[in-house]
Amino acid sequence: MITNGGVQCVPPKERTKVKQVIKWCKKNFKEIKEIEIFYDEINLLVSPGMTFEIVVEKDIAFITGVFPSKSKDFFKTATREYSLTKEGIRRGLKETVEAMKTELGIGFNSILRKGIEKELFFESDRSNSIKYPSGYEIKPIKEQIRIIQDFFPKVKTIDEDFILRRFPYSAESWFVVPRWQIVDKTYSKAVQVVMDFIKKKSRNKFYNWCECQSKSWTKNITRSKDTEEKLNILARQQKDSDALIIPAQFGYYHRNRNLKRASEVFLVDEFALGIFEIGCMILTHPKRFNDNCLWVDCADEYENKKVLCFTYRTKKFGIELENHSQDLFSKKIGVATGFIP
């Protein structure tokens, strides 16, 4: 049922998009009891007192869940941005439903169709996740630049004014990472250079299980196309500097999620970081890994659809590089991501 005039309330330029969003939502929800449209906002009532607010703006959808909380007052999930595509809307609805499940607990009745619901993970225990080591602190930009230039003398140009841009709210800080093309001719060789530096700086407290399995292990790495495309955008924004300043987070934002799960809930301008970028972040922040710390999945594919992961199990080995299946889930795993400001 569509009330208050339906899409006639929407500006002509937005009507097609609004109709498309409603169509996608109908395919995802078991039932929509009522639809209200106010200008560019769609309100979908999917059960008594439970509403999804979707605001359409250009190529972005802002999705919010509204429902009664345990105190009987209305509770809103945080508004987040999703791409205005079928997959973007689908991810947005799934993420919003999960936030609602976290608040309402076991009394929550599924409102998504089975094909969607079976792919969801219940994330109500993310507040009890493993955190960063107590000694870990993000270093100032100038100190990061100095460290990077010590390791990579070819890095000459860095656009330090880039930090004056809007800072993405889901990022933790700015991280300095050289472009892999400055380090070596191929991505695989650049990765090996960084791994050798990590081993040297940690005084051999770095165990590379992939290298133990194959001396030519870097040839089995397939660079993530999405990561490369996003970094190229950052490079253009920073005047093709030798090193990039990336607004990023080191895994905690996507704690308790493997790469496969995290990628389903990425924000519009968010992307997973590859083994090269994460390796460079370890060079500037070696205290990020310690006993009982959060591990980090990398974006690049390894061998036959495996995921590379930086771990830390014992002081004997120190930081370790492992690989696991895409479906492996562990409360110790997080995903490091960057953002386009």
My answer on whether 11 and 94 are in the same domain is yes
Domain count, the chain: 2
> How many angstroms from the chain centroid is the CA of residue 153?
31
Query: Is pLDDT larger for residue 176 or for residue 18?
Result: 176
191 neighbors 178 (Cβ within 8 angstroms): no
Distance, in Å, from the CA atom of 263 to the CA atom of 83, rounded to the nearest integer, reads 13
Least confident segment among 100-109, 142-151, 270-279: 100-109
Task: List pLDDT tens digits, range 306-339.
Answer: 999 999 988 777 899 999 998 887 888 999 999 9
209 falls within a domain:
yes
Q: How far apart, in whole angstroms, are the C-alpha atoms of residue 280 and residue 271?
A: 17
pLDDT category at 122 given cuts 50, 70, 90 is: very low
Segment 25-53 mean pLDDT: 84
Domain of residue 238: give its range: 141-339
**Do 261 and 126 form a contact (C-beta atoms < 8 A)?**
no
Q: What is the pTM of this model?
A: 0.68
Q: Does 1 fall in a domain?
A: no
pLDDT of residue 118: 54
119 and 148, same domain (yes or no)? no
CB 300 within 8 A of CB 224: yes
Q: How many CB atoms lie within 10 A of CB 341?
A: 18
Give residue 31's pLDDT.
86
129: in domain: no
Find the mean pLDDT for residues 198-227.
Answer: 90
What pLDDT was estimated at residue 161? 93
Let me know if residue 267 belongs to a domain.
Answer: yes
Spacing of C-alpha 51 from chain mean position: 26
Residue 333 lies inside a defined structural domain of this protein: yes
Same domain, 109 and 148: no
| Exposure letters 200-213 (e unless 16+ CB within 10 A, then b) | eebeebbbbebeee
Do 89 and 172 belong together in one domain? no
User: Which of 68, 91, 124 is a domain's end point?
Assistant: 124
Whether 108 and 149 map to the same domain: the answer is no
Q: Is 136 a member of any domain?
A: no
In the structure, what pLDDT confidence band is assigned to residue 305 with cuts at 50, 70 and 90? Answer: confident
- pLDDT at residue 40, rounded to an integer: 75
Tens of pLDDT, residue by residue over 167-188, are 887 889 999 999 999 999 999 9
Same domain, residue pair 194 and 276: yes
DSSP structure class, residue 77: P
Q: Cβ contacts of residue 120 below 8 Å, gap of 6+?
A: 94, 97, 98, 101, 112
Q: Does 134 reside within a domain? A: no
Other Cβ atoms less than 10 A from the Cβ of 256: the count is 22
Name the band, by pLDDT with cuts 50, 70 and 90, for residue 130.
confident
Amino acid 6: pLDDT = 59
On the question of pLDDT at 192 being above 90, the answer is yes
